[in-house]
Chains A and B, each alone.
Chain A
Amino acid sequence: MTALPSLAPAELDTARLPGERIELSGQPFKLDCGAELASIRVSYRTYGSLNAARSNAILVCHALTGDQYAADSHPVTGKAGWWHLMIGPGKPLDTNRYFVISSNILGGCMGTTGPVEIDPATGRAFGLNFPVITIGDMVRVQARLLDHLGIEQLFCVVGGSMGGMQALEWAARFPERVFSAIPIATAARHSAQNIAFHEVGRQAIMADPDWQQGDYLARGTRPTRGLAVARMAAHVTYLSEAALHRKFGRSLQDRSKVTYGFDADFQVESYLRHQGITFVDRFDANSYLYITRAMDYFDLAGACGGVLARAFQGVPTRFCVLSFSSDWLFPTSESRDLVRALSAVGANVSFCEIATDRGHDAFLLDVPEFHRVFAGFLAGAAAARGLT
């Protein structure tokens, strides 16, 4: 078998990344697992400007492998921000009207405190000494960031996939701070199937000898092959059978017939390998372990005796739940469960399933219907909030 190449570790000095970075210290930050972090660094970007009333702030929450570079180009890959189609002047998240905040999550690897950062207690990278975190922890860090920015209430909190989990957590935990929320292609709990896929990814990383029981940073290796395989497996779940077929079918890669070997004969193999190889340049393997775990633990109903509706009792937030018809990772049925719970407590909720064959990743792609509904909801919410 032609294995994936073991790349040289790309050392990234997160302190020198473009964008803003603050240190939240003072009182220690207590995590759901019981551990405490003495201080937390948060790297973030903002787009547009905050109005005088401080009422036009929108928090954009990123997904598993996203980061704060939502609208501007990525410092490592040079590619356009992951939501550049959505954020900018005249776009659905119109920076002429709104103040858009995008921060790297707790546990991330682009400057916010996470396993790749230096543990002040030891002077070495946290690695596996980093405490296990939850979606709730991520959201409380974001709340501290908003305190720092002097923003009492968000006009909107939006996100797809794990970003949608954060949006839901925000509305459930800080209802008075969230005027509206747009959870996209997400769920109120991580399904058994999704936990299973995450476990495959984690096992791929841990099976790589270069992972070194999580201590690879100190030992000068990087589990790039394991991380690449994790990414490849996950990437398949972000697409749909129809999209894969449309894009690649059974087309061969730079050859006219199969080679009777294990090279990437098929274009789809070549594509996946490329996805895996490029991913390791910008992502940390331990971060991947911690963030997937946080998603696995997410279950909003869990804290409410299994009754999801109770999580939203009395929540004044206006919700717009969106799903994609071909998303099998976070299928529409999950969104419907969420909408039912919101309806049961009389919450102000809109819900639309967008017809597309582009799978879970549709929220990142140019899907005009999605953008139109998104912008329409936001415009309605802006009118209700008195934003001009």
Chain B
Amino acid sequence: MAAFDRALPEPALIAQASSRGPAATTAGSPLRPDLQLIADLVAPNTRVLDVGCSDGALLAYLASTKNVDARGIELSQEGVKECVSRGLAVVQGDAESDLHLYPDGAFDYVVLSQTIQAMQRPRELLQEMLRIGRHCIVSFTNYAHWRARWHLLRGRMPRSRCAGEAWYSTPNIRPCTLEDFELLCAELNVVIERRLCLATGGMISRLASRRWFDNLLSEQALFVLSQRQGQAARRA
């Protein structure tokens, strides 16, 4: 999902499809741009868990281009069927109840793309992801984007342009802002290794010095997180 309604002139480069909708399905076709950004962050020959992997587009890409040991969890049977029929190691399950099964540091990367806002307990999920992965890659829609603020100023809830669902039916039950997310990271005492702010049109802005400005202009945010050394060591 992405981009609040009231139409950009052209579909934004980023995240045209909803996290629940299909991403690139056929091998060789280009990866959805937000997934491509994530893929570019992943080092070759690593172990990756994609939480809410949908039809497995990212995993298939990583497996074929970066020799990644690609695993996934997906709630929908449609998604899982698609993944397994493509030869991907994907388990049908609920990330919020199943991540605790994985051992500490089981993966090099744990990816949560456009899903955190649909979780019941995002804080606990993030902690589990940090436990089982050396790095966590989290991408989400920033609800403090000026267009969303404009919606609220006009007295309406922001609606995503693509999913376009009303407040009473949207799966996005935990919308957050870029700043909210950073505060959570601080509260959990995690290291923000990278932060990418994606403005309208997919441009990557690097306005890290002014967080309120990023918060206003970023439609999407992408974070790479890891546990602080001491915490990981204590666990080990």
- In the complex where A344-B102, A346-B103 touch, is A352 in contact with B80 (Cβ < 8 A)? yes
Residues B87 and A351 in contact, CB atoms below 8 Å apart: no
Residues B81 and A351 in contact, CB atoms below 8 Å apart: no
Partner of A375, one of B83, B85, B89: B85
Size range of the interface on A? Answer: 20 to 34
User: Which of A12-20, A79-87, A166-174, A376-384 contacts the other chain?
Assistant: A376-384
Which residues in chain A, 330-361, are within 8 Å of chain B measured between CB atoms? Answer: 336, 339-340, 343-346, 348-355
Answer whether residue B205 sits at the interface, using C-beta atoms and an 8 A cutoff: no
Answer whether residue A245 sits at the interface, using C-beta atoms and an 8 A cutoff: no
Residues B87 and A383 in contact, CB atoms below 8 Å apart: yes
| Chain B, residue nearest A319 (CB) | B89
In angstroms, Cα B162 to Cα A247, docked, is 43
Residues A376 and B85 in contact, CB atoms below 8 Å apart: yes
Residues B86 and A340 in contact, CB atoms below 8 Å apart: no
In angstroms, Cα B86 to Cα A379, docked, is 8
The count of chain B contact residues (Cβ–Cβ below 8 Å) is 21
Residues A343 and B88 in contact, CB atoms below 8 Å apart: no
Which residues in chain A, 252-270, are within 8 Å of chain B measured between CB atoms? Answer: none
Q: Which residues of B contact A355 (CB under 8 A)?
A: 77
Question: Shortest Cβ distance from B31 into chain A, in angstroms?
Answer: 19
Residues B84 and A377 in contact, CB atoms below 8 Å apart: yes
Residues A353 and B92 in contact, CB atoms below 8 Å apart: yes
Residues B87 and A381 in contact, CB atoms below 8 Å apart: yes
Answer whether residue A369 sits at the interface, using C-beta atoms and an 8 A cutoff: yes
Residues B87 and A349 in contact, CB atoms below 8 Å apart: no
Q: Which residues of A contact B81 (CB under 8 A)?
A: 352, 369, 372-373
In angstroms, Cα B84 to Cα A373, docked, is 6
Residues B89 and A318 in contact, CB atoms below 8 Å apart: yes
Q: Which residues of A contact B92 (CB under 8 A)?
A: 351-353
Residues A349 and B89 in contact, CB atoms below 8 Å apart: yes
Answer whether residue A329 sits at the interface, using C-beta atoms and an 8 A cutoff: no
- In the complex where A352-B80, A352-B92 touch, is A380 in contact with B103 (Cβ < 8 A)? no
Q: Which residues of A contact B103 (CB under 8 A)?
A: 344-346
Contact with A along B43-83 (1 / 0, CB 8 A): 00000000000000000000000000101000001001101
In angstroms, Cα B173 to Cα A352, docked, is 26
Q: Which residues of A contact B85 (CB under 8 A)?
A: 372-373, 375-377
Question: Shortest Cβ distance from A324 into chain B, in angstroms?
Answer: 12
In angstroms, Cα B84 to Cα A381, docked, is 11
Interface residues of B: mostly helix, strand, loop or mixed?
mixed
Answer whether residue A61 sits at the interface, using C-beta atoms and an 8 A cutoff: no
In angstroms, Cα B85 to Cα A375, docked, is 7
| Chain B, residue nearest A339 (CB) | B91
In angstroms, Cα B193 to Cα A88, docked, is 53
Residues B89 and A348 in contact, CB atoms below 8 Å apart: yes
Answer whether residue B13 sits at the interface, using C-beta atoms and an 8 A cutoff: no
Answer whether residue B90 sits at the interface, using C-beta atoms and an 8 A cutoff: yes
Residues A351 and B93 in contact, CB atoms below 8 Å apart: yes
Q: Which residues of B contact A380 (CB under 8 A)?
A: 84, 86-88
| Chain A, residue nearest B60 (CB) | A380
Answer whether residue B180 sits at the interface, using C-beta atoms and an 8 A cutoff: no
In angstroms, Cα B84 to Cα A107, docked, is 35
Residues A350 and B91 in contact, CB atoms below 8 Å apart: yes
Q: Which residues of A contact B84 (CB under 8 A)?
A: 320, 350, 352, 373, 376-377, 380
- In the complex where A340-B101, A343-B98, A351-B92 touch, is A379 in contact with B77 (Cβ < 8 A)? no
| Chain A, residue nearest B47 (CB) | A346
Partner of B77, one of A318, A320, A348, A353: A353
In angstroms, Cα B85 to Cα A318, docked, is 14
Answer whether residue B106 sits at the interface, using C-beta atoms and an 8 A cutoff: yes
In angstroms, Cα B3 to Cα A359, docked, is 44
In angstroms, Cα B90 to Cα A369, docked, is 16
Write the residues of chain A forming the contact surface with B, with a CB cutoff of 8 angstroms: 318, 320, 336, 339-340, 343-346, 348-355, 369, 372-373, 375-377, 379-381, 383-384
6 more contacts with CB within 8 A, not counting A320-B84, A369-B81, are A350-B83, A352-B77, A355-B77, A373-B85, A380-B88, A381-B87
Write the residues of chain B forming the contact surface with A, with a CB cutoff of 8 angstroms: 69, 71, 77, 80-81, 83-93, 98, 101-103, 106
19 A-B pairs (CB sep. < 8 Å) = A340-B101, A343-B91, A346-B106, A348-B71, A348-B89, A349-B91, A350-B83, A350-B84, A352-B84, A353-B77, A369-B81, A372-B85, A373-B85, A375-B85, A376-B84, A376-B86, A377-B87, A380-B87, A383-B87
The 5 tightest CB contacts between A and B, nearest first, are A380-B87, A376-B85, A351-B91, A350-B84, A343-B101
